[in-house]
Amino acid sequence: MTYKNFTIETDADGIALVTWDMPEKSMNVFTVEVMDEIERIIDQTVSDDGVKGVVFTSGKSTFSGGADLTMIKGMFETIASERASDPEGAMQKIFEAVGRMTWLWRKIETNGKPWVSAINGTCMGGAFELSLACHGRVASNAKSVKIALPEVKVGIFPGAGGTQRVARLANAQDALQMMTTGSSLTAARAKAMNLVHQVVEPGELINAAKQMIKDGLKPVAPWDEKGFKVPGGGIWTPAAAQLWPAASAILRRETAGNYPAALAILKSVYEGLQVPFETGLKIEQRYFTQILQTTEAFSMIRSLFVSMQELGKGARRPAGVAKSEFKKIGVVGAGFMGASIGYVTAAAGIPVVLNDRDMEAAGKGKAVCEGLVAGAVGKGKMSKDDGDKLLALITPSADYATLADADLVIEAVFEDRDVKKAVIEKVEAVLPEGAIFASNTSTLPITGLAENSKRPVDFIGIHFFSPVEKMMLTEVILGKETGDKALAVALDYVAAIRKTPIVVNDTRGFFVNRCVFRYINEAYDMLAEGVPPVMIENAAKFAGMPVGPLSLNDEVAVDLSQKIMKASIADLGEASVKPEHMALINKMVDDLDRRGRKNGKGFYDYPAKPAKKHIWPGLKDLYPQQKPDDVDVKTLQDRFLATIALEAARTVEEGIVTDPREADVGSILGFGFAPYTGGALSYIDGMGVKAFVDLCEKLAASYGDHFQPTPLLKDMAAKGDTFYGRFDPYGTAAKAA
Ligand code: NAD
């Protein structure tokens, strides 16, 4: 029998080696076809008397990334199209579709012959759930092996037996921690948790797996044996009586009740451990069916999986421009940002020149890279050899002539028009024809900067976020005259350094900072209203923001806010900044010297470690305080999310953002906009534009005109539109017409 995605080789001992290697895919993923083939493989190996056992492995460097979530997208379509007419029938269909993988893995577990999973690389989600259903699990000790059930990160949870098997192998606390955070385990950690049986050298993997079968591995899961006991004794023990109330409380603290899938993990484990294994599987299947119908699952999968992948693969890249090969990239300005840009460029294997005013400044930039390498090597994330190779790619220089053969130059000098103008001229004097110039400015419009360029067609913005090594997003900004080649090169570069790009048209603050400043401004308003500062920060976190607005402002630097506000007033007039905001920030910076984390005092105080930062007690003395009981926390939450979402909607209305995927992905990766919403526009679509307009009108009546819904939103509300419908990134409507 032949298979499209698998090969089977049975050796002289009767052990069938099943190797999963999907053609034309860089990574193995579960599709309906793959599951059909696995079912046939089970039937074939069961009926073949010559087969004594099965070793299941991957022919790729990774084991598998789990299910192809576009398969789940198909289920969403079923939900949408059938729920209206036949809600029960639709539910049943989803329940059955969800159970396909669950019961197929159960079929492996109960097939009567021993199966061993040989985990040779990253093994995620459904693939690890398949491994858990095998009777033996051997993992390679290669650094690249990561084991995880990360479903919760996209709004779902391990729904193919994961919640039941992990909780019957590991202790409940570790099991819950692993699944509710979705974090990755090394092979050694998985073994310590009792989730794999053996960890071996990569070259020994298949032999070790076969040996398990030869040693007489029993084809029965522990929970199918008589007298099986859950580790720790299960739910009705004194230890569990301590664990479970704390587990719910911790989950509440970490998620503020915003992630229904995380709660479903707790419920599946808690309920599942009290019943026979197969009943536990049904409980999990039932919760999975429920979770799949939540707005959170729909929006998170769309933004954090589908859209992120599409943008990463160059959804916005102009066709017809040859793919860029980077032989050398120049970074001018080896300061805070430039040094890290140099580092991530070299980490992608591209030679980079770090250019600054003199060799001392350029050397400082390289020293920063050396520090980053030393940190990564120290943490075991990079080998010493790789670190040396990376550093060898970075050449500090004070001579513009070194840029004469660069394909792309990224400017990260002081945020000053005149300094940038001089740099643009000097770089262009040596830069070869056709090479691209990018600015990392955070506030200066690209079109204006491009006026200093002799070739504005080849001029573009690539806006990085700090810390560059960690932040996954880059904002690519098109000036009025930016051409297709510049965009293609910028996107190829962003792909090379493995970050996710969003492409936006030129505007003050671009997309991300426009939204971020709305968030921070709302906090200034709340301070002025006398809302206790701690409530402001906590309300933001309850709304799902990872960092409170005052804390964020401290990180960005309060005096940078002052500079930006003053620049807005100078360029756009007094009305562009609220006088109360300017007064607050002037007081913080000019009178109190509270500039943020960088000088150890801002909205927070930063005492010496190990003490933790805390809100500066004097902050509440700046304004008469409301009583905490008089403040409605839910309204504070709504204000934070609505003011950001409104700004995102304005950028669409102004033609700055043209693709809703970019506003959503940009808002989550750029500043952590409540990920459970799927991003700033999915937040609006999720509740319905009409409901959002109503919310804005209500907020505008109490908190100011900046909440007034825009004409576009009102029009969409009247027509029942959504952002993804009206600004359909796939052009489905246009294609149909
Ligand atoms: P920085 O002051 O740390 O670094 C600027 C560097 O440019 C310094 O090393 C300086 O010596 C060098 N420089 C100045 N004039 C030069 C010239 N004529 N030729 C060569 N080098 C010169 O500043 P930074 O924080 O790294 O910011 C750099 C740029 O990045 C700014 O445009 C800023 O707006 C932007 N940016 C900053 C952040 C951030 O978080 N700091 C985030 C995104 C973008």
pLDDT in tens, 52-68: 999 999 999 999 999 88
Report, as an integer, the average pLDDT of 678-703.
98
Among 135, 197, 463, 581, the active-site one is: 463
Residue 736 is predicted with a pLDDT of: 47
| C-beta 409 within 6 A of ligand 1 | no
pLDDT tens per residue across span 370-420: 999 999 999 988 999 999 999 999 999 999 999 999 999 999 999 999 999
Q: Look up 463 and say whether it is catalytic.
A: yes
Asked if the peptide bond before residue 624 counts as cis, ω within 30 degrees of 0, the response is no
CB distance 23 to 60 below 8 Å: no
Sign of CA dihedral 55, 60, 64, 69: negative
Residue nearest to atom 4 of ligand 1 (CA): 335
Residue 264 is predicted with a pLDDT of: 98
Pocket test for ligand 1, best of 331, 337, 427, 554 (most atoms within 8 A of CB): 337
Please report the atom of ligand 1 found closest to the CA of residue 339. 26
pLDDT tens per residue across span 273-303: 999 999 999 999 999 999 998 999 999 999 9
Report, as an integer, the average pLDDT of 594-622.
95
pLDDT tens per residue across span 444-474: 999 999 999 999 999 999 999 999 999 999 9
CB distance 177 to 157 below 8 Å: no
Residue 75 is predicted with a pLDDT of: 73
In the chain, % of residues over pLDDT 70: 99
| C-beta 337 within 6 A of ligand 1 | yes
| C-beta 334 within 6 A of ligand 1 | yes
Residue 218: which region, alpha, beta or left (left: phi > 0; alpha: psi -120 to 50)?
beta
Pocket test for ligand 1, best of 354, 414, 416, 469 (most atoms within 8 A of CB): 414
Residue 290 is predicted with a pLDDT of: 94
Q: Coil, strand, or helix at residue 225?
A: coil
CB distance 11 to 210 below 8 Å: yes
| C-beta 419 within 6 A of ligand 1 | yes
- Chain-wide mean pLDDT for the chain? 95
CA of 567 to the centre of ligand 1 (A): 18
| C-beta 71 within 6 A of ligand 1 | no
CA of 384 to the centre of ligand 1 (A): 29
d(CA 640, CA 713): 18
Residue nearest to atom 15 of ligand 1 (CA): 413
| C-beta 342 within 6 A of ligand 1 | no
Q: What pTM, to 2 d.p., does this model score?
A: 0.93
| C-beta 464 within 6 A of ligand 1 | yes
pLDDT at 229 over 50: yes
Residue 174 is predicted with a pLDDT of: 95
Residue nearest to atom 20 of ligand 1 (CA): 356
| C-beta 312 within 6 A of ligand 1 | no
Report, as an integer, the average pLDDT of 577-584.
96
CA of 356 to the centre of ligand 1 (A): 10
Residue 735 is predicted with a pLDDT of: 47
Domains in the chain, CATH or no CATH each: 6-293 (3.90.226.10), 329-508 (3.40.50.720), 513-726 (1.10.1040.50)
CA of 520 to the centre of ligand 1 (A): 24
Burial 676-705 (b: 16+ CB within 10 A, else e): bbbbbbbbbbbbebbebbebbeebbeebee
CA of 420 to the centre of ligand 1 (A): 10
pLDDT at 733 over 70: no
CA of 414 to the centre of ligand 1 (A): 4
pLDDT at 182 over 90: yes
CB distance 70 to 33 below 8 Å: no
CB distance 163 to 179 below 8 Å: yes
pLDDT at 77 over 80: no
| C-beta 361 within 6 A of ligand 1 | yes
CA of 514 to the centre of ligand 1 (A): 20
Please report the atom of ligand 1 found closest to the CA of residue 413. 7
pLDDT tens per residue across span 20-41: 999 989 999 999 999 999 999 9
pLDDT tens per residue across span 509-542: 899 999 999 999 999 999 999 999 999 999 999 9
CA of 656 to the centre of ligand 1 (A): 25
CB distance 554 to 602 below 8 Å: yes
Residue nearest to atom 28 of ligand 1 (CA): 412
Least confident of 207-211, 341-345, 415-419, 698-702: 415-419
Q: Where are the alpha helices (DSSP H) in 145-294?
A: 162-169, 172-181, 187-192, 205-214, 238-255, 260-272, 277-292
Please report the atom of ligand 1 found closest to the CA of residue 422. 18
| C-beta 336 within 6 A of ligand 1 | yes
Report, as an integer, the average pLDDT of 99-103.
96
CA of 410 to the centre of ligand 1 (A): 11
CB distance 616 to 597 below 8 Å: no
CA of 440 to the centre of ligand 1 (A): 9
pLDDT level of residue 85 (50, 70, 90 thresholds)? confident
Pocket test for ligand 1, best of 331, 336, 439 (most atoms within 8 A of CB): 336
In the chain, % of residues over pLDDT 90: 92
| C-beta 228 within 6 A of ligand 1 | no
| C-beta 338 within 6 A of ligand 1 | yes
pLDDT level of residue 76 (50, 70, 90 thresholds)? confident
Residue 730 is predicted with a pLDDT of: 87
CA of 336 to the centre of ligand 1 (A): 7
Residue nearest to atom 30 of ligand 1 (CA): 412
Q: Where are the alpha helices (DSSP H) in 293-402?
A: 295-300, 308-312, 336-347, 359-378, 384-392
Q: Which residue has the higher pLDDT, 443 or 108?
A: 108
| C-beta 131 within 6 A of ligand 1 | no
Please report the atom of ligand 1 found closest to the CA of residue 337. 26
Amino acid occupying residue 397: S
Residue 69 is predicted with a pLDDT of: 82
pLDDT level of residue 737 (50, 70, 90 thresholds)? very low
| C-beta 356 within 6 A of ligand 1 | yes
pLDDT level of residue 732 (50, 70, 90 thresholds)? low
| C-beta 333 within 6 A of ligand 1 | yes
Please report the atom of ligand 1 found closest to the CA of residue 556. 40
pLDDT tens per residue across span 130-152: 999 999 999 999 988 999 999 99
pLDDT at 81 over 90: no
CA of 416 to the centre of ligand 1 (A): 9
| C-beta 440 within 6 A of ligand 1 | yes
